[in-house]
Amino acid sequence: MFLVRIFILFIASLSLPGCFASAVLGTAAATTTGVHDERTVGRQLDDAAISSKIDARLIAERDMPSRWIGVEVIRGRVILTGHLPTRSHIERAVYITKQIRGVTSVNNKLEIGQPKIRTVLSDSWITTRIKRALWNDKLVSGFKIHVDTVNGKVYLQGVVKSLIERQRAKDIARGTPGVTAVVDLMQSDNS
């Protein structure tokens, strides 16, 4: 029954705007991942609040297709992934993000264009396979590593304790069919 609920949430999230879906599902996921995250609970809550503020501002922005934007915040450092129609949309999204209190830096990985449904489904499948492999791995925790895939390019984010854990996460991602590149945005436990 639990798997049926997860599947229904996943299917429902596909019909929701990107930022809203992230907020709804992200809040549920944060409840389960917080126990395994290397950040303090206070830092996790601060990052979640920053992410929610960014999502809200992007959703409120006129002529901003925010459903195509992925927002990840780790220790105040923001990574934007996904697609926007024009360079000016991307510049506006970065500007809005930088204005949010608590944001220490913005790593812009947004691409120009509109995602194709086939690519979105493929990217979702790649992300799912990598997350499953991370959850089943003894060296690295799938709860600590956040995975985002855009056009086959995998972004690994999160806080890791060791270089071994970091390398293992990259190896798992690289070994996943359909992956065209792996971008390491992970932070070490002491940074």
Place of tokens 């024009």: 86
pLDDT at 190: 66
* Comparison of pLDDT for 50 and 7, the residue scoring more: 50
Q: What does the alpha-carbon distance between residue 61 and residue 21 come to, in Å, rounded to a whole number? A: 17
Token code pair at residue 121 = 């489904």
Q: What is the pLDDT at residue 56?
A: 92
Question: For 28-40, b where at least 16 C-beta lie within 10 A, e where not — what string?
Answer: eeeeebeeebbbe
Three-class DSSP category at 135: helix
Per-residue pLDDT for 84 more than 70? yes
* pLDDT tens figures, 43-60: 788 888 998 999 999 999
> Residue 116 has what pLDDT?
84
Structural domains of the chain sorted by starting position, each given as residue range(s) with its CATH number in brackets: 2-112 (no CATH), 117-188 (3.30.1340.30)
pLDDT band at 27 (very low <50, low <70, confident <90, very high): very low
pLDDT of residue 11: 52
Percent of the chain topping pLDDT 70 = 79
- What pLDDT is attached to residue 191? 56
Written as one letter, the residue type at 14 is L
pLDDT tens digits for 116-168? 888 889 999 999 999 999 999 988 878 888 899 988 999 998 888 889 999 99
Residue 28 scores a pLDDT above 80: no
* Mean pLDDT calculated for residue range 87-100: 95
Q: What is the pLDDT of residue 45?
A: 86
Instruction: Provide CB contacts within 8 A for 39, sequence distance 6+.
Output: 47, 74, 75, 159
The per-residue pLDDT for 4 is 45
Helix axis angle for 18-33 and 41-60, nearest 10°, is: 170
Rg (CA), the chain: 16
Tell me, what's the pLDDT at 17? 47
Query: Residue with structure tokens 């929610």?
Result: 52
Q: Which tokens sit at 33?
A: 């991942």
Gap between the Cα atoms of 41 and 103, Å rounded: 18
Residue 96: its pLDDT value, please? Answer: 95
Mean pLDDT of 26-36: 44
